[in-house]
Amino acid sequence: MTTSLDRRLAAVLALPLALTLAGCADREGGPQEGTDVPASERPAEPTPEPATTPPTPAAPTPAASSGRPPLSATDLPTLRPPTGPPRHPTDQLKPNVLAGRISHGGGGPCYTLVTDDGQEHGLYGRDKGTWPAGTWVRVTVGPAPEGVECGPGRPLGLLRIERVA
């Protein structure tokens, strides 16, 4: 990596020197000083060439210093501002997680949960604590145990319950 960078730098710096030497070689091919050349055949006095500064190599970009090309030469795309509120819920909850209000609670093992969209769920879970009606909770549910009826709505087994402020 370093040797290729050194070689490029040497080539860039050697270019003005090579051009200068090429210009001198052309002048040396003409008549030498001190020889008799008629004035009509003598070339006009050379005009001084403007001083050229050797080109300075551009500072390497971070991607170039690692030897790899940059990932992209274009800017990253950006999202446009929203035109209005979302039409569907944007929270990606797992299908076995529900949130809502306990409408029929107590010490269990049966509870009734009403979600924000008005759906009722009959939850069955042993040793889940006392949850009074009106408490907002988030529950993790599973399949309902067979032969158990816990009120109106879709029967589900209660795996976990936690209060939501």
Which residue did the predictor score with more confidence, 79 or 27? 79
Domain annotation for the chain: domains and CATH numbers: 97-163 (2.40.50)
Is the per-residue pLDDT at 152 higher than 80?
A: yes
The answer to whether 106 touches 118, Cβ cutoff 8 Å, is no
CA distance 72 to 154: 53
CA distances (Å), origin 56, targets 22, 53, 59, 63, 149: 21, 9, 9, 19, 84
Percent of the chain with pLDDT over 70: 64
Categorize the per-residue pLDDT at 14 as very low, low, confident or very high, splitting at 50, 70 and 90. confident
CA distance 129 to 151: 18
Categorize the per-residue pLDDT at 49 as very low, low, confident or very high, splitting at 50, 70 and 90. low
Which residue did the predictor score with more confidence, 100 or 9? 100
The answer to whether 158 touches 124, Cβ cutoff 8 Å, is yes
Is the per-residue pLDDT at 1 higher than 70?
A: no
Categorize the per-residue pLDDT at 125 as very low, low, confident or very high, splitting at 50, 70 and 90. very high
Which residue did the predictor score with more confidence, 15 or 28? 15
pLDDT given for residue 141 in this prediction: 94
pLDDT given for residue 4 in this prediction: 67
Categorize the per-residue pLDDT at 12 as very low, low, confident or very high, splitting at 50, 70 and 90. confident
Categorize the per-residue pLDDT at 48 as very low, low, confident or very high, splitting at 50, 70 and 90. low
pLDDT given for residue 86 in this prediction: 84
pLDDT given for residue 7 in this prediction: 76
CA 97 vs. chain centroid, Å, equals 31
pLDDT given for residue 40 in this prediction: 60
